[in-house]
């Protein structure tokens, strides 16, 4: 079943840039569908009729896939979902949420397990290296950085916290999620503890 996500609202960038921080502790409060929608749009949303997205991509090859582990979002069942940017929707690909498993294979960074959502940013390198050769790997890594910064900024604008996690065992993450793409970054998102 595909879930349509709410429309996006505008924010003031200057305020967000000043407040952006890495946050590793989250309250027990759930996220809303609106917040999830904004986070996913910031990550990889489509911004025009040509299919361009919120991040630059070498040759518009868009090698990334965005998955989200949903542990606690109001109105959405737990599980792992794949973001469909072209329709700004999500489709459940695993019925169980896997936050605890992700935390364990991320060198036991247990804050991942308690976050209401965890973005998993994965790459299909072939989309970019088929155009640019080995230099395409560099372009994919740059694109992941753009996605991460967008997620940081959107989370901050919503009063949420996130952090980029690159310390994990790649093969184990692939196995947990049952994906073919290469996981490059985990980003837990939740409400900050004041």
The arithmetic mean of pLDDT across residues 94-120, rounded, is 98
User: What is residue 74's predicted lDDT score, i.e. its pLDDT?
Assistant: 98
| Residue with more model confidence, 132 or 193 | 132
Percentage of residues of the chain with pLDDT beyond 70? 100
The arithmetic mean of pLDDT across residues 20-28, rounded, is 88
Nearest one of 97, 82, 108 to 180, comparing CA atoms: 82
The pLDDT confidence band at residue 7, using thresholds 50, 70 and 90, is confident
Q: Tell me, yes or no, whether 2 lies in a domain.
A: no
Torsion of CA 126, 131, 134, 136, to 10 degrees: -80
Average pLDDT, the chain: 95
108's tokens: 């036991």
Q: What is the pTM of this model?
A: 0.92
Domain CATH code at residue 156:
3.40.109.10
Any idea what DSSP says for residue 23? -
The pLDDT confidence band at residue 23, using thresholds 50, 70 and 90, is confident
By residue range, what is the domain housing residue 70? 26-191
Q: How many Cβ atoms from other residues are within 10 Å of residue 14's Cβ? A: 8
| Residue with more model confidence, 135 or 12 | 135
Any idea what DSSP says for residue 94? E
Q: Tell me, yes or no, whether 15 lies in a domain.
A: no
DSSP code per residue over 28-66: SPPBPHHHHHHHHHHHH-B-STT--BSS--GGG---EEE
Q: Tell me, yes or no, whether 51 lies in a domain.
A: yes
Q: Dmax of the chain from CA atoms?
A: 47
Contacts of 25 (CB under 8 A, 6+ apart): 111, 161, 192, 193
Number of structural domains, the chain? 1
User: What is residue 193's predicted lDDT score, i.e. its pLDDT?
Assistant: 87
Q: Tell me, yes or no, whether 21 lies in a domain.
A: no
Q: Tell me, yes or no, whether 18 lies in a domain.
A: no
Q: Tell me, yes or no, whether 137 lies in a domain.
A: yes
Contacts of 54 (CB under 8 A, 6+ apart): 41, 42, 43, 44, 45, 47, 150
Q: Tell me, yes or no, whether 5 lies in a domain.
A: no
Q: Tell me, yes or no, whether 153 lies in a domain.
A: yes
* pLDDT at position 70 over 90: yes
């Amino acid at each position: 079943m595909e879930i349509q996500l709410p429309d996006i609202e505008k924010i003031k960038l200057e305020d967000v840039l000043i407040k952006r921080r890495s946050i590793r502790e989250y309250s027990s409060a759930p996220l809303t569908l609106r917040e999830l929608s904004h986070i996913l749009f910031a990550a990889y949303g489509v911004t025009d009729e040509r299919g361009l997205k919120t991040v630059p991509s070498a040759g518009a090859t868009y090698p990334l896939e965005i998955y989200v582990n949903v542990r606690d979002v109001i109105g959405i069942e737990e599980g792992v979902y794949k973001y469909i940017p072209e329709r700004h929707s999500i489709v459940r690909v695993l019925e169980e949420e896997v936050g605890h498993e992700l935390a364990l294979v991320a060198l036991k960074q247990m804050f991942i397990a308690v976050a209401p959502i965890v973005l998993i940013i994965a790459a299909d390198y072939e989309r970019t290296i088929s155009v640019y050769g080995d230099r395409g790997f560099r372009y994919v890594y740059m694109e992941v950085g753009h996605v991460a910064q967008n997620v940081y900024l959107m989370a901050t604008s919503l009063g949420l916290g996130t952090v980029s996690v690159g310390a994990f065992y790649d093969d184990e993450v692939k196995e947990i999620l049952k994906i073919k793409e290469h996981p490059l970054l985990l980003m837990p998102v939740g409400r900050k503890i004041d």
